[in-house]
Structure 1
Amino acid sequence: MTTLNRRHFSLALGALGVAPLARAQAYPQGPITLVVPFSAGSVVDQQARVIARVLASRLGQPIVIDNRAGVSGSLGAEVVARAAPDGYTLLIGTQGTQGTNSAIYKTIRYDPVKDFVAIHGLSGNATVLVVNPTLKIQSVAELVAYGKANPGKLNFGSGGKGTSGHLCLELLQNRTGARFTHVPYKSSSTALVDLVAGNLDAMFDFVQTSGPQIRSGKLRPLAVTRSPRMPSLPDVPTMAEAGFPGIESQSWGGLFAPAKTPAAIVQRLSDAVDETLKTPEVRRTLESVESFTIDMPHTQFQAYVAAEAARWEGVLRDAGITPE
């Protein structure tokens, strides 16, 4: 069915007085565009493609991935914010696109809360605090003590301002009083290369990318930022186990639609995502790339997103970071 015919179909249903639930049951009547606001091959993109393939089979229509990278995901988010609220243009949103980016960039031209509806949680990734093994630091406690005694002396890399690695660093400094020098890169992979080479001292990085370097002995892990421990790093303590409860973080991704998308369509999508995340294929695939499901239905996910946005905006505000 073409876009024009699909709209005529919807108008005809409305004229006949068909209830919203019936319209949702008829949805979707054609391909769905899923905007991934990061480059092809990125962690978010890999997860989105697996979930989209299974979700498409549940909905009975193809899902087309549209990579729109730029400004930490905000360019893609803006595309969806301005799309028709008919359920045919969706977004893989993250804690950046749906919260912290607006506290970092003056150029953001959408409201991460008012312009979207949070449909369902999808997946998450833990980060691990790693240091170059040439440092004599063996624990989080030793790192914090050094950061207090020698403020700014150790360099922390990240994939850029406002990324998960940067947010974890600011949270660590906020909660402990230790001070480090933040060195933002254009990507976390570039920062990781410099950390292994000894040009950086430490960073918070995704378990997916740091894991191989840890297992080869090129990096020393101090703690993971999520409880419980990560199965692939069973000997690495959580931040709480390391003596620093409250310094926890997980990057997350979820499905979003433009504001004013009909509630019945939102529920239809949320139910379909719930089924998708329970399939062995999706769970197995996410686990294989060190990710995990965040199976939160619409109402719960909406509250979670609001709480996460408030939390990280507070961390950035306390750190004195203002929009640029």
Structure 2
Amino acid sequence: MSLNRRKFSVATGLLSLAPVLRAQEPYPARPITLVVPFSAGSVVDQQARVIARVLGARLGQPFVIDNKVGVSGSIGAEFVSRAPPDGYTLLLGTQGTQGTNSALYKTIRYDPVKDFVAVHGLSGNANVLVVNPRLGIGSVAELVELARKNPGKLNFGSGGNGTSGHLCLELLQTRTGTRFTHVPYKASSAALIDLVSGNVDAMFDFVQTSAPHIRNGKLRALAVTRGQRMPMLPEVPTMAEAGFAGVESLSWGGLFAPAKTPDHIVKRLSAEASETLRTQEVRSSLDSVGSFIIDMPHAEFQNYVGREAVKWTEVLRAGGVTLE
């Protein structure tokens, strides 16, 4: 064999080994991009930055935050769904991007379940069902009964179409066969003001923003949408305790990777994310905005996201709810 032919053979052999060598490269070997599909400074963005900073320190590589905003988070989610499945482009996905947007919008171009690996559940927020005291009711059962006797006559405020408060209302109506008049506002704070003043009758609102009005008697809390009671309102029952187990909803966030991301990368990220959530820095950050830790490992989170997508598709289609 000539010298040139030997050189060619060796070079060809090295090239054929390149994919194997890359596959065996320790993960992570370079910075990781975390796509946050909401604007910089938003609650989701703030939480993402704290988690990314601690998680990056544990992994030995920094996270680069990339805010890709639009269509309730769907622009960023679509971008990640088409990224290489190598663990270097991840998504901070939410109940919206992975649970409801595909049913709400006709223009969504990704599958929230098939196009992603649900790596780890991170955090959540719960709503509380609150009413104006002038209604004279003190339980979910009484509200449902009043609505059945007066279909469409009770006004239900929310922070806008497709928001968590609106989604909870649709879930309540679907599960109980009731019909309220939905009054969407430009912000939940505006809806809350009108609820306190008596211009609307009820709404689902985040626990942390309604709690002060509940304590001073301006609002009456009927139940929280989490599966367990909230420390901020320990006296308020869950929906299940109130007799409506099917009306449970969380605004959750978690870590997602493109489909076909190698299993060893997913397991590493999930394990480190769990340890990250145990740190005081992350716990304090979540507590400051009224969020709580979910800490749901990969397999459990994957199943949870699948159930969420099915649930919200059924609820929104039953209510005929779509957005442009």
Q: Secondary structure at the match of 1:151?
A: coil
Matching residue of 1:304: 304
How many angstroms does 1:67 deviate by? 2.5
* TM superposition shift of 1:55: 0.8
Residue identity matched to 2:18: A
Whether the 8 Å contact between 1:103 and 1:323 is mirrored in structure 2 is no
Deviation at 1:323, TM superposition (A): 6.0
Quote the offset at 1:107 in angstroms.
1.4
Match of 2:265 in 1: 265
**Matched length:** 311
2:91 alignment partner, SS class: strand
Listed as ranges, the gaps of 5+ residues in structure 1 are 1-10
Distance of 1:301 and 1:189 partners within structure 2: 31
**Residue in structure 2 matched with residue 175 of structure 1 by the alignment:** 175
Partner in structure 1 of residue 20 of structure 2? 17
Q: Is the 8 A contact 2:121 2:294 kept in 1?
A: yes
Paired with 2:74 and 2:198, the residues of 1 have a C-alpha distance of 32
Displacement of 1:151 after TM fit? 0.9
One-letter code of the match for 1:85? P
TM-score of the aligned structures, taking structure 1 as reference length: 0.87
Q: Secondary structure at the match of 1:309?
A: helix
1:267 Cα deviation from its structure 2 partner:
1.8
Contact 2:37–2:70 (CA under 8 A) maintained in structure 1: yes
Give the distance between the partners of 1:321 and 1:116, measured in 2 at CA. 25
Q: Counterpart of 2:247?
A: 247
RMSD of Structure 2 on Structure 1 (CA): 2.3
1:4 match: none
How far the C-alpha of 1:13 sits from its partner, in A, is 11
Change (3 A) 1:44 1:196: farther
Q: Deviations over 1:160-200 (max 9, x none)?
A: 33332122111211222221011223433333333334332
* Identity percentage of aligned residues: 74
* Distance (whole Å) between structure 2 residues aligned to residue 189 and residue 260 of structure 1: 41
Match of 1:35 in 2: 35
C-alpha distance in 1, partners of 2:129/2:240? Answer: 13
**Residue 65 of structure 1 aligns with which residue?**
65
Alpha-carbon shift at residue 12 of structure 1 (Å): 8.2
- Bigger radius of gyration, 1 or 2? 2
Gaps of 5+ in 2: 1-13
Which letter does structure 2 place at the counterpart of 1:129? L
Q: Which runs of 4+ in 1 moved over 4 A?
A: 11-14
Paired residue for 1:112? 112
Report the Cα distance in structure 1 between the residues aligned to 2:218 and 2:123, rounded to whole angstroms. Answer: 28
Q: Distance in 2 between matches of 1:218 and 1:79?
A: 44
| SS of structure 1 residue aligned to 2:287 | helix
Measured in 1, the distance between the counterparts of 2:275 and 2:53 equals: 13
Of 236-245 and 284-293, more deviation after overlay is shown by 284-293
**Shift of the alpha carbon at 1:93?**
0.8
Is 1:157 paired with 2:157?
Answer: yes
Report 1:1-324 matches (<5 A). 15=18, 17-18=20-21, 20=23, 22-23=24-25, 26-322=26-322, 324=324
> How much does 1:118 deviate?
1.0
Distance in 2 between the 1:180 and 1:69 partners? 32
Deviation of 1:86 after TM superposition, in Å, equals 2.5
Deviates more, 1:257-266 or 1:303-312: 257-266
Q: Counterpart of 2:96 in 1: which secondary structure?
A: coil
TM (norm. structure 2) is 0.87
Number of the residue aligned with 1:8: none
